[in-house]
Every structure is written in structure tokens, then in C-alpha cells.
Structure 1
Amino acid sequence: MRINKNSSLRLVTVATLAAVAVLTGCGEKQQTPPPGAGQPQEVGVITVKQESLALSTELPGRLNPYRVSEVRARAAGIVLKQVFHEGSDVKQGELLFRIDPAPLQASLLSAEASLAKSEATLAQAKLQEGRYKELVAVNAVSKQDYDNAVAAVKQGLADVAAGKAAVQTAKLNLGYTSVTSPIPGRIGKAQVTEGALVGQNEPTLLATVQQLDPIYLDFTQSSSDMLRLRRAFDSGKLESVAPGQAKVRLVLEDGTEYPLTGKLLFSDVTVDQSTGMVTLRAEFPNPKHELLPGMYARARLAQAVDKTALTIPQQALQRGQGGSASVLLVGADNKVLAQPVKAETAVGDKWVVTEGLKAGDKVIVQGLQKVRPGAPVKPVAAASSAPASAVQGQ
């Protein structure tokens, strides 16, 4: 096959022009600046404002019953019957055990007989004293005989009083054979079985009743935290929460919050020397008996109100090496500034800043990964987030 020279020349020329066009296009594309190059980066900012903020702390503790009663045998004898069901709720005065009353019934009868004898003796002594009183007036009996008759009456009165006391004691002991609950609450397992001999030499523990509504939470706080709060109160920076308005919330072991609010009852007046902690107690209603003694729980305790608190969203705070905290601000010239801050307390989804910021500062909360200190930016209002009033325990 023969190829025309003119055709070959035309093909080479077309290929050369196409290559030049491609190179020219590439050069123009490389020289064209990307869209937005050299323009300030847009960032979302919030303006720091002062707000009234309830400060709370979360402290671990244990639930304890409102009242505990150890039911013990006060009468000696054999347990005839256990009336209650273990683990059930009992009322105050409800019968729990029956102890064999026969020996104590016999003791009561004996005491009543002794009392009747003393009363008869007293009656005879009174009659004799009355006769002697008339006779001694006419010197029919000696004064000594009359004095003996008066003393016999007094002795008889004493014997009757002792007999009445013995009868009352016997009745009490007989009543103790019916063992009742001294408080309302939930009763645990029986410590004795039917047929057991109890009350010999010392009161025998029969069962334990615990009152669960309301219920206590005992927890501790370090003395250093209490001192820091007290200094803040004294300086006027913090306003103490009124006792009637203080709220204590309860966080259960599974992380859920107990729906009913408790109240703070007291703070111990001494500091534990071994731990440096102060014991506090809160009371919670427990109508459904959901809370049980011994359960671990955490108390969210409102302790103070900061009238001039400065807060920032958690995503605005950056942590450096060693735990140092800082935020990125937008300066007056719309350039990024790195500002060290002090933020030790988290409240809801925000940090409470105590040093480094002032009201009116513009803190970058969106677009942090795209800017660095000194870079020009275009600040815009950040998209709305969770409300600033999200406070632990509120």
C-alpha cells in the first residue's frame, strides 16, 4: 500500500497543533485561581454573655433506711408461730411472732394471788388499827400496841403496792409473747424458726424491719470543695441557694435519674481525719419502694448560684499538652486569636469559664478545624445548639 506524502504531512501538522492546544489549556487551568482563594474563611461564633447559673456537684453515696428496728424477744419462751411473710411490708403494731404464753400466764396468776393475800392482810391490819385507836384513848391498850397496829397498816399498804407492781410486770411479760412490729416498713428474713427457745439471758434477735419511705442517701464531699465554695460566698461572687429551694437529684446505678426530688437535711459538723471528707445526708420520697438500702447512687446537689457566670459550648474548648485549656476568638480586625482560659466545671453541655474571657468576646464554635491563629475569618452567628440553661440536677 502506498501512502501519499502530502497526507502524511497534514497528519503530522494536525497532531502538533492538537498537542499545543492541550498544553496551552493545561497552562491556563493551572494559572486560574481556585474559587474563594484569598478570601476569609467563614466561621460560626457565639458572643459570650453573663448569665445566672445554678452550680451543682455530683457526689457518690449509699442509700440507707429512714428507720431500722431490730425486733427482739422480750419474753422468754418457745416460738410457737411466725405470722409474717419474709420480705413483705408490715404495719406498725402488726403481729410478727407468737411465743408460748403458758409459763407467763402462770406467773400472772401467782402475782394476782399474792396481791389478793396482801390486800386481805391490809384489810385486817386496818380493822385492828381502828379498834386500837378507840381503846388507846381510854387507856384500854398500851400505846405500844397501838403503834404496832399503825405500823402493820403501813406494812400492808407497801405489800399491796408491791403486789400490784408484780401483777403489772407479769401482764407486761405476758403481752411480750405477742411480738409486734414497732415501725412500719419492710421486714427481712426471720432469724429464728418455730420451736426455738428465745429470750434466755438476753433479748434474741427475731427479725429486722426497715422503713423505706422516705429513704436517706448518705454521701460525702471533700472539705477543700466546701472551703472553696465558702470563700466564693464570702467574696460575693456566688449566692448561696436558700435551704428551702435547694434541690438534690438522684442518679441510679444504671445512669438513669430518679424522677422524685430530694432535700438536703444536714452537713456534718466534723471532718473525717482519715479522708478529709464531710458527710452529708439527703432525704428522698420512696412511695413505690424502688430505692433499697445499700444501693449505690450519686447525688446531684445544687450548692450555689453564680450571678455572673460565663459559659461556652464544650466543642469550643481545646485542650493542649498538660491539660491547658484555650479557645479561639475573633479579634477586632476579624483575625483569629488563641486565648488561654480556665474552665474546671462542666454544666450540662457547657464549660463554665472562670478566667480568660469577658462578656462580649466572640468565641469560634464552628469551623475550628479550618482556621489557625492569625488567619483572617468571616464571623457569622453559630447555628443554635442545646439551651444554655442545661444544668446538672435542674
Structure 2
Amino acid sequence: MTVYLLKPARSPAAIPGSIALLAVLALLAGCGTQKNGGKRGASGPPQVGYVIVQPTSVPITTELAGRTTAFQSSEVRPQVSGIIRHRFFTEGSLVRKGQPLYQIDPSLYRAATNQAEANLASAAANAEATRIKAERYKPLADIQAVAKQDYTDAAAQARQAAAAVAQNRAALETAKINLRYTTVPAPITGRIGRSLFTEGALVTASQTDPLTTIQRLDPIYVDVQQSSADLLKLRRALASGGTAPATAAVSLKLEDGSDYGYTGTVEFAEVVVDQSTGTVTLRARFPNPQGLLMPGMFVRATFAQSIDNSAFLVPQSAVSRDPQGNATVLLVGPGDKAVQREITATRTLGANWVVTAGLHPGDKVITQGTGKAKPNQAIKPVPASAPQDIKGKTGRSSDQTKG
């Protein structure tokens, strides 16, 4: 600092005041020099927090679109022809297996049953007579009291009569079955749909249209389609040993974006690729006690098909993107210098990025203070759980006071 001494213009009495002013200016200049150029103005390397990463087992999740399908579905059809006399169910209600649904006019089938019963009784009586006649002829034929041919004919007639009894008994059984079919029962337990035929309608055993449809909705299936290319990639990864098969539960998102409250399991995957779409169908099974899921609904299923045993979990705060969109992290390098490294991070798991390439076991990834650290800059690394050395307002005020 340059100090200019001013010569007093009027009287020597002004000299002491000028000296005091010059002393104050010199003191202020000294403080400024000490603050800007002294050791207190110099700052050390920035402190950063790091975590040591190790490979871990991470599920490889897949989200696919799918449709719900009834667990069981049955089209109720008539097995005999006739006029529908009664309908015993309410459309849309829950019906039980074996519960009567329709009554077809049984008059003709009851008459056929009665006729079959009469034919069977007649055949049985004839069989009894021919059997007795054959038994009487046998000892007479032995003593040659009657011709052996007569006995042979009598025995044949007895066997024919016994066969006629069996035929008529089968006809009676058929008539009883047809009579039983005039009452149409529910083949399965489930929710029944609308009736396509009303009372008074004529139905036939060979008709193509069902009377109604029953669907079992608890549990319920969800069919999802996965591309054959993705499935082939997964199978190759499993064969190479880099991943392991998973049996994780399946979760659903409904059409309105909400989560379905129950989880399901994958039942099977088809072994045939759809030639028109190039996809393979996977089927999952879900509980549906409230009947919230209905057949034909569009859903999105999320599930783990395999587990990656060599992936790294890195906190999302440690990963940044360069102008090209590549994921990068800062590591604690040799000599406590920050080192930037490009990684492969294509998906997240909770609060972490799943890193599949670019890291090695034992790497120290900087997770705290990344805004202060620059590549190749000296840093002061501490574990991420350690308290950070951050100066507060009290420290700055004390500096200013000392200055």
C-alpha cells in the first residue's frame, strides 16, 4: 500500500489529525491483504462421500401387456331335442355344479323309458321260458328220448333270449339317460351369463348355439405375450450361467393405472411361437375373490423371469448423464482424485440404478458431494455414512470478525 503524506497547509495543529487518519487507512489495508492473500483465504480439496459397491443378486423384471381369461369356461348345450319348459336360474348369478338350469319337455322321453321297461320285461319272460325248456331237453337228449338237434335248438333259443334281455336292458338305460338329459344341469361352478333361449324355444341336440355360458372367475388367468427374441435371449443367458431362473410373484396394473391388490404366479409358457405376431404366450394365475377381474380385461403384468447375480446397485444420486445420454459415475481414484467412468444402467430398482457393466467389485462410487467434485480433481473422500464437514453461518461470521 502506498501512503501519501500531505503537507499541512494552514497550521501545525492539523498534523496530529492527519497522522491518525493515515493510521486507520493502513490498518484497513493490512486486513484486506491478510484476508485475500493469507492462509485463511486458501480452500482445501472438497470433501465427498462414497460407497463401496459389490456385485449382488438382482431380479430381472419384465413388464408385458396381457388379457384376463376365465379359469374355467363351459358352454351349456342340450343333449336331447325338445321344447324348453322352465328356466331355473337368474342371469348373472353364481351357480353350482349339478344345479338344474333348464327343463326340456320330458313327455316323449318318459314314454320311451316306459316302453323300454316293457320290452325288457317281455324279453326276460321269454328268456326264462327258453331257459327252462333247454334244461328239460338236456336229460331227455342224454337218454335219446328226444333228438339231440331238438336240444341244440332249445339251448340256442335260450341263449338268444338272454341276449335279447341284455339288448333291452341297454335300451332302457339309454332311455333313462335321455330322460335325465331333459333336465340340463350346470357342468361347473361359476358365474352364469345371459340365456340365449327362452321358455317355449325349441332346442336340438345338434345345435351350434349354446343355451348359456358359465365361467369360473376365482381364480383367474392372465395371458401375456412375450416376443420370441426376448425369450431366446433369456434362455441363452440362463444357459451361459450369468443368470438364474426366478420364481417371483407376478403383480398387475389395471386399465385405470391402479395396482391389483393380489399377486399371482406364472403357470406355464407355450412351446409354440405365434407366426402372425412372433410372440409366445405366458399364463399367470391370480386369486379373484371379489370378482374385480373379468374376462377380456386389459392389464399389464410385471414379474421376474431371472436373477442377475453379477449386477451392482448404485444410488440414483451418484449417476449422471453426459451430453450423449451415457450414464457416468465419479469414483475415488488413485491419489484421492475423482475419476469419471461410463457405466451401463438401463433400469432402476427402488432408489438404485441397476448397473450391469462399467464397475468392478470394491470400486468406491461417490454418492455425496458430486456437485463439488470434478474429474481428475483432488478430493477428500470419506464414507457416505460419515458426517459432512460443512461450514455454517457461525464459522463465516467468526472469519469476518477476525478479519
Q: Contact between 1:248 and 1:299, CA under 8 Å: does it hold in 2?
A: no
Aligned mate of 1:174, from 158, 176, 179: 179
TM-score (norm 1): 0.79
CA-to-aligned-CA distance 1:187-237 (integer Å, 9 cap, x gap) = 111121111111254365111111222222222333333343334334433
CA distance in 2: counterparts of 1:355 and 1:48, whole angstroms: 13
Distance 1:194 1:349, change over 3 A: farther
Q: Contact between 1:95 and 1:180, CA under 8 Å: does it hold in 2?
A: yes
- Give the aligned residue type for 2:298: Y
Structure 1 equivalent of residue 260 of structure 2: 258
CA-to-aligned-CA distance 1:164-204 (integer Å, 9 cap, x gap) = 11110111111111111111111111121111111254365
User: Do structure 1's residue 228 and structure 2's residue 236 form an aligned pair?
Assistant: no
CA positional deviation for 1:117 = 1.7
User: Do structure 1's residue 248 and structure 2's residue 245 form an aligned pair?
Assistant: no
Structure 2 equivalent of residue 294 of structure 1: 296
- Give the aligned residue type for 2:238: F
Q: Contact between 1:240 and 1:303, CA under 8 Å: does it hold in 2?
A: yes
Structure 2 equivalent of residue 388 of structure 1: none
CA distance in 2: counterparts of 1:87 and 1:269, whole angstroms: 36
Q: How large is the Cα RMSD of the aligned pairs?
A: 3.4
CA positional deviation for 1:336 = 3.4
Gaps of 5+ in 2: 1-9, 11-20, 387-403
Structure 2 equivalent of residue 100 of structure 1: 105
Aligned mate of 2:338, from 319, 336, 339: 336
The number of equivalent residue pairs is 361
Distance 1:103 1:341, change over 3 A: same
Q: Contact between 2:252 and 2:263, CA under 8 Å: does it hold in 1?
A: no
Aligned mate of 1:132, from 132, 137, 141: 137
CA positional deviation for 1:53 = 2.6
CA distance in 2: counterparts of 1:194 and 1:222, whole angstroms: 49
Q: Contact between 1:249 and 1:258, CA under 8 Å: does it hold in 2?
A: no
Distance 1:346 1:273, change over 3 A: farther
CA distance in 2: counterparts of 1:237 and 1:46, whole angstroms: 25
CA distance in 1: counterparts of 2:235 and 2:209, whole angstroms: 49
Distance 1:210 1:332, change over 3 A: same
Q: Contact between 2:250 and 2:284, CA under 8 Å: does it hold in 1?
A: no
Map 1:1-394 onto structure 2 (within 5 A).
39-202=44-207, 204-241=209-246, 246-253=247-254, 254-320=256-322, 323-369=325-371, 371-382=373-384
Stretch deviating more after TM superposition (169-178 or 151-160): 151-160
3-state secondary structure, aligned to 2:215: strand
Larger radius of gyration between Structure 1 and Structure 2 = 2
Gaps of 5+ in 1: 1-5, 7-16, 385-394
Q: Contact between 1:249 and 1:257, CA under 8 Å: does it hold in 2?
A: no
Q: Contact between 1:73 and 1:203, CA under 8 Å: does it hold in 2?
A: no
Stretch deviating more after TM superposition (268-277 or 374-383): 374-383
CA positional deviation for 1:293 = 1.9
TM-score (norm 2): 0.77
Distance 1:200 1:272, change over 3 A: closer
Distance 1:82 1:212, change over 3 A: same
CA distance in 1: counterparts of 2:204 and 2:325, whole angstroms: 65
Structure 1 equivalent of residue 394 of structure 2: none
CA distance in 1: counterparts of 2:236 and 2:206, whole angstroms: 57
